[in-house]
Amino acid sequence: MTLLLLSSCGGGGKSASCLADGSTQGAAGSTGGTAGDTLALRYARRLSIVEYDSCAVASLVDPWDTTRILHRYVLVPAAQPLPELMPEGTLLRTPLSHTLVYTSVHCGLLHELRVGQAIAGVCDLSYIDLSSIHEGVAQGRITDCGSGMSPDIERIMALRPDAILLSPFENSGGYGRLEQLGIPLVECADYMETSPLGRAEWVRFYGRLYGCASQADSLFAAVEQRYLALKTLADATTTRPLVLMELKSNSAWYVPGGQSTTGILCRDAGARYAFAHDTHSGSVPLSLETVFARASEADYWLFKYNRPREMTYRDLEADYAGYAAFRPFRERKIYVCHTGKVPFYEETPFHPDRLLSDLLHIFHPELVHDTAADFSGNGAAAEIAGNGATADLAGNAAGDNTRNAAGNLAGSEGLHYFCRLKQ
């Protein structure tokens, strides 16, 4: 019997069914004679979703070889029978309700979508900055399955999750014994998207996994609206400050590539990223001499760190005396993000609007002096902040343990994640 492979066979918004050999079938597909509707994804380049009456098919493009599919999932509501002819792919009975989640960012997202109760197990607990997760583990409601690199297989088998959410890596050699357990592996390749809104748009996929598609769609719509409104403000400026990012690590300085989300965010915030000419979308190791030659006269310097206490200029110079030769050091225009105190990694992947707001406040404070940094929807920032039912989902921090940098570190500058480096 020939299995039908359902996927998007054309551009956005087209309805199609495809046979396994790649040929196209007409309006009648394998799911009761109805054609599927391709979900219109505006920014995501590694994801497509086709919705049918009895199921949905999500196809994930391999980030490292875009000519092939990394994984295909068939989402069938648990309350419905399986389609008479099953599409090809990994079956997921939705909504997922008992999942093992590897990453902090996806734990935070599920809490924001109000389906945090579906987290039954986690890996790398020490990297998850959500009190509800730690409380759940302490109370025995959530299972600590050990390290993501070497998970406790026996605990996973005892947990019997309905799916495992994890991140794929190039040339990883697969997932070892996990692949032999018969548990669906959901490969969260959102981090390989090539634009901030592209990654954020994956929330629509996760919403369909957990039965909260409408909330997820509303969340992304609000994020998109605010991001584009902020970008429009930045587009109007005629001054473009030069920006340096991150710190050196041993003998190399790993800078975000010019096509990375960081590089795009700098551009969208009305700045010139020092390595915008680079064609990479990931981090690029450069020599100290190369960084100094291109960025020593930058207008601003931003970096992230995680230490027991807040860093100062004295600490920075003690780490490496050469930092003092950079103009932002001399002119005290360094902004930092203490990732141990603010939920940078938990929030920004699906809230690039918040990060863009920080950058715009730093680079062009004159453009945003009358906007509400907390996206509350009040005053002159109402259009950017978002209103109505989406404001609570999109404007509030993910989960119950997130912190706002404006309250802890940044003071009156109204920043979410960054603050000025202390003297």
Contacts of 15 (CB under 8 A, 6+ apart): 27, 35, 36, 37, 38
The token pair at 182 is 């018969």
Tens-binned pLDDT, residue by residue, of the chain (423 aa): 333 333 333 333 333 333 333 333 333 334 555 678 999 999 999 999 999 999 999 999 999 899 999 999 999 999 999 998 889 999 999 999 999 999 999 999 999 999 999 999 999 999 998 999 999 999 999 999 999 999 999 999 999 999 999 999 887 778 989 999 999 999 999 999 989 999 999 999 999 999 999 999 999 999 999 999 999 999 999 999 999 999 999 999 999 999 999 999 999 999 999 999 999 888 899 999 999 999 999 999 999 999 999 999 999 999 999 999 999 999 999 999 999 899 999 999 999 999 999 999 999 998 886 554 444 433 333 344 443 334 444 444 344 444 443 334 444 477 999 999 999
CA distance 69 to 60: 6
Sign of dihedral through CA atoms 18, 24, 30, 36?
Answer: positive
pTM of the entire predicted model: 0.84
User: Which pLDDT score, from 0 to 100, does residue 11 have?
Assistant: 32
Q: Which residue has the tokens 């989640």?
A: 101
Cβ atoms of 180 and 171 within 8 Å: the answer is no
The token pair at 163 is 């799916």
361's enclosing H/E stretch is: helix 352-363
Q: Which residue has the tokens 């000025």?
A: 420
User: Which pLDDT score, from 0 to 100, does residue 129 have?
Assistant: 86
Q: Which residue has the tokens 């548990």?
A: 183
CA distance 49 to 212: 15
Peptide bond into 151 cis (omega under 30): no
Cβ atoms of 413 and 351 within 8 Å: the answer is no
Residue type, 91: L
Distances (CA, A) of 302 to 49, 295, 333: 37, 12, 9
Domains and CATH numbers, the chain: 4-77 (no CATH), 99-192 (3.40.50.1980), 234-420 (3.40.50.1980)
The token pair at 379 is 């005053």
CA distance 255 to 241: 18
Q: How many helices (H) and strands (E) does the chain have?
A: 16, 21
362 backbone dihedrals φ, ψ, rounded to 5°? -75, -50
| 413: β partners | none
Sign of dihedral through CA atoms 235, 242, 356, 203?
Answer: positive
Cβ atoms of 207 and 393 within 8 Å: the answer is no
